[in-house]
Amino acid sequence: MRISIQHLTKVFPSRTKGGKAVHAVEDMNIEIPSGQLVGLLGPSGCGKSTTLFMLSGLETATSGKILFDDQDVTTLAAEKRGVGLVFQNYALYPHMTVQQNIRFPLDNMRINREEGNARALDAARLVQIEDLMARKPHELSGGQQQRVAIARALVKMPNVLLLDEPLSNLDARLRLQTREEIKRIQRTTGITTVFVTHDQEEAMSICDIMVVMKLGVVQQIGAPQHIYDDPNNLFVANFLGTPPINIFKGKIQGGKAYIGEEAVGDAPYGDREVYVGIRPEGFIYNPQGALTLNVDHIEVMGRDKSVVSTHESSTKPTVRSIIDSDVALPEGAEQLKFDIKPYKLFLFDAETEERLR
Amino acid sequence: MMEENDNIGTPQEPPKKHNKFVQYFINLGARIKGWFVDKYTAVKDFFCGLFHKKTEEEKALEYSGPQLSRGEKFRRGLKSQSGWLFVAPALVLMAVFTFYPIIAAFVNSFKQSYSGMTGKFNGWGIDNFVRVLKGDTGTGGADFVQCLVNTLILTFISVPLSTLLALLISVALNSIKRVQKAYQTILFLPYLTNALAMGAVFATFFKIIGTQNNTETVGLVNIVLGWFGVDPIDWVGLRSPHWQIGSLSIPWAKYVVTIIYEVWSGLPFKILILFSAMQSINKQYYDAAKVDGASRWTVLWHITAPMIMPQISYLLVTGIMGGMKQYSAIVGLFGVTMGQDYDMGTMVGYLYNYIELGQTGYAFAGSLILFVIIMIITYFNNKITKKRTTYR
Ligand SMILES: Nc1ncnc2c1ncn2[C@@H]1O[C@H](COP(=O)(O)OP(=O)(O)O)[C@@H](O)[C@H]1O
Ligand SMILES: [Mg+2]
């Protein structure tokens, strides 16, 4: 199922008299090709869940349109859209067994018991919980509950699968495992899937298409790697990547980008104040390098080492540069000099915070 | 589990197998006994500890800090047992007003021809029980079986009915967005009104008041029925229709009135409980149900009701308990004679009736039987609710 989101807007009236209305989603436009896994990424409160609920039909859009293939579903009731929804805290019915939970959507479709059970079992197999069918939700671990919720969403063979922060209630290990699982399930079923998360690593690792949002406004849409390598603005650059990008206050003068008095790269743009963003992997150690950093300490972690240093123009307390662990660094040096890989350096207008390119 | 422990170290006797019902009371007894033993030991320890002169060894073992004065010791002792001080007044009151009467009722029910005035009685025996159950009290008072049947029928119809109605009304109330508060208040009003007064008003609604110019003046209910061509029914009066089964009378018209009254007066509290329980159900369950295409009916029976099952069974249990003790509503509706020849008598009404007649022996016996019946009902209540209350 192809999804087309056109000028979608959601305004919540203010809860108090005379308060300000909340613009949860503002003029959103996304085209999602059939069978893709799309990640909605953004900090908490940026309107991801609201978008998802509008797709599911639980929230009505204030304006704009949602098309499934060529059908306008903007005002269609939730149960008629054929979507499967997985809630952040799963919303499994505590008094029903796993099987009853999974079968619930089928029961509502008046599918007979035998077929219902068979399909519930299929869905359970897909998420590998077929041995837990007789249990109640409270007898399951978080990860298992999560799978039940996914099975329940999948069992009716939805056109669209919607997942609201499906991994946020899992511990770190399980989260890693489960996100692979979600990817696998999505590949197997080929269902167009929209997936909400505030964890950029999660989104980066499993999405085909990533949508970065901030305060209800879409910032950038594209393949995760592409967005990482070519961010539209300071917010996106800052939001993606672990460890995060280093940001310096700087300026452009005569076609060169400066951090302090040191020129770190070419900048064929007019003179102005800028933010200079350098990805941690963008540093090359060179005793005659362009940028001088005051070393705080060095962390060695297997393949690479991390130089943690300070710089007076940095907007963050520390600057982190990651270099290959074979690169020999002078023992106990207080300052180190680095060259900057041009494609790992981004310039943002200090005022608009938009990328200069 | 207790049995296993008791068997440790003693010659192995095969543990007696009781049926579940008996076992329940045995366990109950053991628990009650355990409670008293616990308290007794605690009290004993407290006082012994206070007055016991300790040997040097004990002192060394117990407390290695600075020497304590007797006053300080007393204070510490009190502190460690201070819970007792708080429950003491309640315990005393309960002893006087609860435990003593229970025991006295038990003892007195076996005194034959007991006179409450003089305290004289004519030997011990189960004469009271036999006469009560046979309906052979020879005083023209209420009939025990009639009262029992009335109580059971009224309770087991009106309590489930009003709980069900309360559930439906709460669901409706929960789906109202605007004037919810106002409705809530209106629905709660009957709760604040006196049962006798309400009963009297109800009776007037249903009454045939008298004859005027050869037409009967009737209450509101009969007027409304009249619109549909139904002849006036004497719902609460002397000509009230009833069925007769042997010596048992089934005054169905009066039952209808009583049940309507009980349901109506029971609603507010039940709605209050169920409504607030519903409000605390996570909205996401309903969202999930909506996406999954559940109908309103499915949502009510498969989501809302199971989620508030603890509250529903609480209402059923307390409702049935209350129903077994109903009396004032009957008086309000049918007067102190509880209908005609006590045909609307209830169990508690029976007790009052015989106390009033000076036949306290029958009242004691009746109360003991009532006690046993309530125990039995409680047993099944517990059984059923244990299964249904927790969805865990
Ligand atoms: N029902 C509602 N009424 C009013 N404001 C809401 C409602 N739901 C969400 N919001 C507001 O809309 C914004 C976006 O919320 P949400 O979509 O839940 O964010 P996210 O899922 O990205 O954390 C938030 O500011 C939130 O407070
Ligand atoms: Mg959210």
Q: Would you state the pLDDT for residue B67?
A: 66
Which atom of ligand 1 is found nearest the CA of A213? 22
Contact B284 A91 (CB under 8 A): yes
Q: Which CATH architecture has domain A3-237?
A: 3-Layer(aba) Sandwich (3.40)
pLDDT class for B4, splitting at 50, 70, 90? Answer: very low
pLDDT at B153 over 80: yes
A55 chain-B contacts, CB cut-off 8 A: none
User: Is residue B259 within a helix (H) or strand (E), and if so which, with residue range?
Assistant: helix B252-279
Looking at A203-207, A334-338, B32-36, B117-121, which range is the least confident one?
B32-36
Provide the domain count of chain B: 1
What are the residues whose beta carbons fall under 8 Å from the beta carbon of B224, sequence distance 6 or more?
none
Please report the ipTM that was assigned to this predicted complex: 0.86
- What is d(CA B364, CA B370) in angstroms, rounded to the nearest whole number? 10
Q: How buried is residue A180: exposed, middle or buried, by Cβ count under 10 Å (0-12/13-18/19+)? A: exposed
Q: How confident is the model at residue B2 (pLDDT cuts 50, 70, 90)?
A: very low
User: How far, in Å, are A57, A302, B234, B284 from residue A13 at the CA level?
Assistant: 18, 53, 58, 21
CA distance B296 to chain A (A): 11
C-alpha to C-alpha distance for B154 and B256, rounded to whole angstroms: 9
Please name the residue of chain B whose CA is at the shortest distance from the CA of residue A89: B284
Query: Which residues, listed in sequence order, are joined to residue A246 by a DSSP beta bridge?
Result: A278
Ligand 1 proximity of A22 Cβ (cutoff 6 Å): yes
Cα A233 from Cα A351, distance rounded (Å): 11
- pLDDT of B12 > 50? The answer is no
**Chain A residues contacting B via beta carbons under 8 Å:** 53, 56-58, 78-79, 83-85, 87, 89, 91, 93-96, 104-105, 107-109, 136, 138, 152, 156
For the CA of A196, the closest atom of ligand 1 is: 21
Which ligand has an atom closest to residue A88 CA?
2
Is residue B233 within 8 Å of residue B253, measured between CB atoms?
Answer: yes
Distances from the Cα of B68 to the Cα of A318, B63, B72, B75, B76, angstroms? 60, 9, 6, 10, 10
Whether the CB-CB separation of A44 and A105 falls below 8 Å is answered with no
Nearest to A92 by CA among A142, A129, A55, A58: A142
Query: What is the nearest CA distance from A194 to chain B, expressed in angstroms?
Result: 15
End-to-end CA distance of chain A: 35
CA of A45 to the centre of ligand 2 (A): 7
A277 lines ligand 1 (CB under 6 A): no
Per-block mean pLDDT, blocks of 10 residues, chain A (357 long): 95 84 94 95 94 95 94 93 92 94 95 94 91 94 92 93 89 86 91 94 93 96 96 95 94 93 92 95 93 93 90 95 90 91 95 93
Give the mutation target among A16, A28, A41, A46 for probing the ligand 1 site: most ligand atoms within 8 A of CB: A46
Task: Name the interface residues of B facing A (CB cutoff 8 Å).
Answer: 282, 284-285, 287-295, 298, 302-303, 306-307, 309, 391-392
pLDDT tens profile B249-293: 899 999 999 999 999 888 888 998 898 899 889 999 999 999 999
CA gap B150, A143 in Å, rounded: 55
Q: With bands split at pLDDT 50, 70 and 90, how would you rate the model's confidence at B177?
A: confident
Distance CA A165, CA B289 (A): 19
Taking the CA of residue B92 and the nearest CA in chain A, the distance in Å comes to 44
Residue B121 lies in a domain: no
Within 8 A by CB and 6+ apart from B51, the residues are none
pLDDT at B314 over 70: yes
- What is the pLDDT at residue B16? 59
Contact A241, A212 (CB under 8 A): no
Cα of A50 vs centre of ligand 2, distance in Å, is: 7
Could you tell me if residue B12 is inside a domain? no
Higher-pLDDT residue of B141, A61:
A61
Q: For residue B288, give the nearest of A87, A94, A138 by CB distance.
A: A87
Q: For chain A, which residues make up each domain, given as ranges?
A: 3-237, 245-349
Please spell the DSSP secondary structure of B114-175, one letter per residue: --TTT-----BSSHHHHHHHHT--SSS---HHHHHHHHHHHHHHHHHHHHHHHHHHHHHHHH
Q: Tell which of A53, A89, A108, A157 to mutate to test the B interface (max B CBs under 10 Å).
A: A108
Residues of A in contact with B284 (CB under 8 A): 87, 89, 91
pLDDT tens-digit series, residues B299-311? 999 999 999 988 8
> Lowest mean pLDDT: which of A101-115, B207-221, B348-362?
B207-221
Index of the ligand 1 atom closest to the CA of residue A46: 22
8 Å CB contact between A245 and A204? no
Long-range contacts of B94-101 (CB under 8 A, 24+ apart): none
Which residues in B lie closer than 8 A to residue A53 (C-beta atoms)? 287
B113 within some domain: no
Task: Compute the distance between CA of residue A279 and CA of residue A320 in angstroms, rounded to an integer.
Answer: 9
Which residue segment(s) compose the domain that B381 sits in?
A: 144-389
The alpha carbon of residue A300 and the mean position of all alpha carbons in its chain are separated, in whole angstroms, by: 28
The CATH number covering residue B314 comes to 1.10.3720.10
Rounded to the nearest integer, the mean pLDDT of chain B is: 81
Q: Is residue B100 part of a domain?
A: no
Nearest CA to ligand 1 atom 14: A47
Q: How far is the CA of B5 from the centre of ligand 1 (A)?
A: 58
Q: Which ligand is nearest to the CA of A21?
A: 1
How do residues B74-84 score in pLDDT, each as one tens digit? Answer: 777 766 666 77
Instruction: Give B-chain residues touching A104 at CB under 8 angstroms.
Output: 289, 292, 294, 302
Higher pLDDT, B223 or A85: A85
Task: Please report the pLDDT score of residue B216 as a whole number.
Answer: 63
HEC readout, B309-374: HHHHHHHHHHHHHHHHCCCHHHHHHHCCCCCHHHCCCCHHHHHHHHHHCCCHHHHHHHHHHHHHHH
Tell me, yes or no, whether B109 lies in a domain: no
Sheet architecture: strand order including A22-32: A22-32, A3-12, A63-68, A71-72
DSSP A314: B
Cα A210 to Cα A38, A132, A218, distances in angstroms:
6, 34, 11
Contact A354, A233 (CB under 8 A): yes
Tell me which chain B residues have a C-beta less than 8 angstroms from the C-beta of A94: 307, 391-392
Whether ligand 1 lies within 6 angstroms of the CB of A49 is answered as yes
